[in-house]
Chain A
Amino acid sequence: MALSSGSSFAATINPFPEEFNLGNFERVLGTTLSDGSWLFGQQLFNSIIVSAATTVVGVTLATTAAYAFSRFRFGGRQMLLSSFLITQMFPATMVMIPLYVILDSLHLLDTWTGLVLVYSTTALPFCVYMLKGYFDTIPTELEEAALLDGASRFKIFWSLILPLARPAIAVTALFSFMTAWNEFILAATFMANESSYTLPVVLQGYVGAKAVDWGAFAAGAIVVSIPVMSLFFMLEKHMVSGLTSGSVKG
């Protein structure tokens, strides 16, 4: 469908296109602004930055928090841990206006920071839960030994635990990336100009009030999906890196 010409919605979703035509891809990838600059490039860049930043922020916040929840016993631990889950239970149907007001009062509207913060906190509950569960399966003997040797908590965390938790961190990273990469409505509402839009917003731009530019929409969808697949391709060897036997369960 993306490869056949024109905007008609073909009678069926035919994965094998009738005519090989890259016109739709040209249209989608070649958008420019009135001053001639490459618009799609800017939007692609926005998506990459926002998603990468979300991944970094999300993974950092989630791993540190999950480690603390897993290893330490402190006042309010159970309650705070449940709060991650509980806030997920309330549907996000009408979350846009309160978030708009909050970001506005923090002067984070129309900024990458604002989007990254919102996306990271959206991805947090799953990441913290997942990582905590994973950390729980790593026995504490190694860390206790290292502590006795005089290593700081941070060093243990960084050099010992993180490499062991690579599979879970890879999943967390992928999840955070995708939360940011595929999100449309908040990006469209918070960002002011077309040059600051992210790719899902661009994709929605091909959906009109009563008619959809299917050719461009499909081409755009393929373009938007490729980076996620590449990221998965890169990460999945970490997901299956496995552990040298004996170092953990012993």
Chain B
Amino acid sequence: MKQNVRLIISGIFAFGLTYALGFGAQSVIKGQFEQVEVTRAILDAHQALKSGPSDKQNVTIVKETKSAKYHFLNKRSYEVNTVDSTRAGTVLTGENDQDKARADRHSDARRTKKPVVQRLADGSVRVTVADGMKTSEILVNESLPIVPFSWGIFFTISICLCIASVFAAKKTPVIGSVVLLAGLAISTSVLGSQYLGLSAAEASEFLSAGGRRAPVVGIPNSSFWGTLAAIYLAGAIALVFIATSAFERSLDSIQRSREAYVAISPAMLGLFVLVGIPFVVGIGLAFFRHVHGDYSFVGLDNFRQILTGSEGPHSIFYTLVVTVIWTFLNVILHLSVGLGFALLLHKHASGWTRIYRVILIIPWAVPAYLTALIWRSMFDADIGVINRILGLEGMSWMHDTLTAFCANLITNVWLGFPFMMVVCLGALTSIPGDLYDAADVDGANGWQKFTQITLPLLKPALLPATILGSIWTFNKFEVIYLVSEGRPDGGTDILVTEAYRWAFERGLAQGGAYGKAAACSVIIFLVLLIYGWMTARVSRSAEEALR
């Protein structure tokens, strides 16, 4: 690629970066400044609750004055006190939307015991705080005394920077980066300092007003500067890279494999957006705690809780062992039964074979939910078919971990063998018949033909199916949840049903313990990742053998 084009790209990049950083710095510092405003409003509101509104404030105080048959109707006799005394002593009604909204805000504050902060369209801030059944609300309408941001000046600075860095980069890329960084640093500080100065001024004014606890003034701390420095560094490295030949080389290699990238790009795009984003969100959630819509960062706390104790009598390690045994037994049985049927059907091709093939696909065709329910009722102690056939009426399968596990196992083998059977059938047809003929000529018997010809040639097709199949079985939710329901007392639960219970059953106590469920899911992921790494070596060698 021409050198000029590369330089133009780096210029555009510099421009964009300047813009983004300046804007970002301004927003962050403005946000910190607004925090001061809100905190002060909260303090004022609490003050008004204690000692009544002072003259210059726009405050509403609401308190209960009588108690009705329906306690939630007490709101109707709340006393509204405002500085604007025309509403003093009146009650809240639902007649106009404003009053209703006000009443709802006060309810929220009372219930959550936290201040309710609302930022209105005209820039003013409304804060509602509660103390027991008494609530107060204050409206603060001080506009920030800020010099309006001059986009014109900023635009000019950015353009100059671009041109300067492009010209400097013509000499050496390193000098170009240095010019860019210097320019960025200057513009960010100029803009940021406007607010920093104001923040400091506000803080000292607040303190000098005396008699009140100073709020925490959020002057950007070290993490802010650290992030800024990291972005600058990344920008510099990118700029150097773009301007050097390494960029050209990687562009060339992309150009060479152009066809391949085009071929895989729709699939990769779909995967990253629709599978990748939920994946990243899921992992990220494991570090947060969710309580009724509020997420807070808790680091490794979810993992600590999951690993050191569980709600039921079985620890997470027990559940992990159950899951591993479950997966192992299932995969072995799926493979044997599926391969067995496939061999039978493949060998004795006849008119009936087509019918048999279709019948054997039934377990896969019927929705898994329904199959699980049917098997569950078949395993029922008193009305189930299985007990009737075995003469074990009255014996409960779900009261003992071993029998419950077997019930799950039988159901899942029924559900899963057709998949393996179909994969095997497909793979068996690709083995040319003359190989067997040649073996017959050599005098090989059935078993030798199977182990020397069939199995090795099936491996490439079976390997991906087995690996994926084991991953699916490890996370097989419906069967465990619907057949044994984890009984007895969580004894047959696997990791994924544990995660479900945290998210959608016992976790509903906090609106859904998504953090804990995600932590369980991360554990599942790590175990499967180790498994995948181990099997990767096996499949890699199989791939090599084919070359």
Contact = CB atoms under 8 A, between A and B. Distances in A.
Interface stretch (B11-19, B79-87, B427-435): B427-435
A203 B368 CA distance: 12
A97 to B, nearest CB: 8
Contacts of B287: none
A64 B270 CA distance: 14
B253 interface: yes
Contacts of B278: 92, 95, 98-99, 102
A106 B274 CA distance: 11
- 9 residue pairs, one from A and one from B, having the closest CB atoms: A74-B257, A68-B263, A89-B528, A72-B260, A65-B267, A129-B464, A228-B365, A98-B278, A167-B426
B117 interface: no
B36 interface: no
A218 B253 CA distance: 57
A98 B468 CA distance: 24
Contacts of A128: 267
Interface string A108-140: 000000000110111011101110111011000
A69 interface: yes
Contacts of A89: 471, 524-525, 528-529, 532
A189 interface: no
A90 B282 contact: yes
Interface string A15-34: 00000000000000000000
B370 interface: yes
Contact of A80 (B264, B422, B430, B465): B264
A211 interface: no
A249 B525 CA distance: 40
B201 to A, nearest CB: 41
Contacts of B472: 88
Given A61-B267, A65-B268, A94 B430 contact: no
A243 B423 CA distance: 16
A138 B347 CA distance: 23
A232 B361 contact: yes
Interface stretch (B143-151, B165-173, B227-235, B382-390): B382-390
B199 interface: no
A139 B215 CA distance: 74
A168 B354 contact: no
B274 A236 contact: no
B546 A239 contact: no
A8 to B, nearest CB: 12
Contact of B430 (A62, A130, A137): A137
Contacts of A126: 464-465, 468
A223 to B, nearest CB: 11
Interface of B: 250, 253-254, 257, 259-261, 263-264, 266-268, 270-271, 273-279, 281-283, 285, 346, 349, 354, 357-358, 361-362, 364-370, 374, 377-378, 383-385, 388, 422-423, 425-427, 429-430, 432-435, 457, 460-461, 463-465, 467-468, 471-472, 475, 477, 495-496, 499-500, 503, 514, 517-518, 521, 524-525, 528-529, 532, 536, 543, 546
Interface stretch (A37-45, A143-151, A170-178): A170-178
A91 B367 contact: no
Contact of A171 (B374, B422, B521): B422
B432 A243 contact: yes
A46 interface: no
A168 B426 contact: yes
Nearest to B472: A88
Contacts of B377: 9, 13
A90 B254 contact: no
Contacts of A129: 464, 467-468
Contact of A87 (B253, B271, B365): B271
B496 A91 contact: yes
A124 B272 CA distance: 12
Contact of A121 (B275, B357, B384, B427): B275
Secondary structure of the A side of the interface? Answer: helix
Given A91-B477, A136-B546, A221-B366, 17 more contacts: A64-B264, A72-B259, A72-B260, A74-B253, A85-B467, A90-B282, A91-B524, A93-B517, A94-B518, A118-B274, A124-B270, A126-B464, A174-B422, A224-B367, A225-B362, A242-B433, A245-B434
Interface in A54-111: 61-62, 64-65, 67-69, 72-75, 77, 80, 82-95, 98-99, 102
Contacts of A13: 374, 377-378, 385
A248 interface: yes
Given A65-B263, A94-B518, A130 B367 contact: no
B452 to A, nearest CB: 16
A72 B422 contact: no
Nearest to A153: B259
A96 B263 CA distance: 29
B274 A84 contact: no
B385 to A, nearest CB: 5
Nearest to B389: A12
Interface in A199-228: 200, 203-204, 217, 221, 224-225, 228
Nearest to B422: A171
Nearest to A172: B426
Interface string A156-178: 00000000000110110010001
Nearest to B475: A91
A135 to B, nearest CB: 10
B259 A95 contact: no
B374 to A, nearest CB: 6
Given A67-B263, A130-B423, A136 B365 contact: no
Contacts of B430: 134, 137, 167, 243, 248
B263 A88 contact: no
Contact of A236 (B358, B383, B427, B532): B358
Contacts of B467: 85, 129
A178 B369 CA distance: 14
B403 to A, nearest CB: 19
Given A229-B361, A241-B429, A124 B271 contact: yes
Contacts of B250: 75
Contacts of A221: 366-367, 370
Given A90-B279, A228-B365, A240 B349 contact: yes
B270 A61 contact: yes
Contacts of A7: none
B275 A68 contact: no
Nearest to A102: B277
B365 A94 contact: no
Contacts of B464: 126, 129-130, 132-133
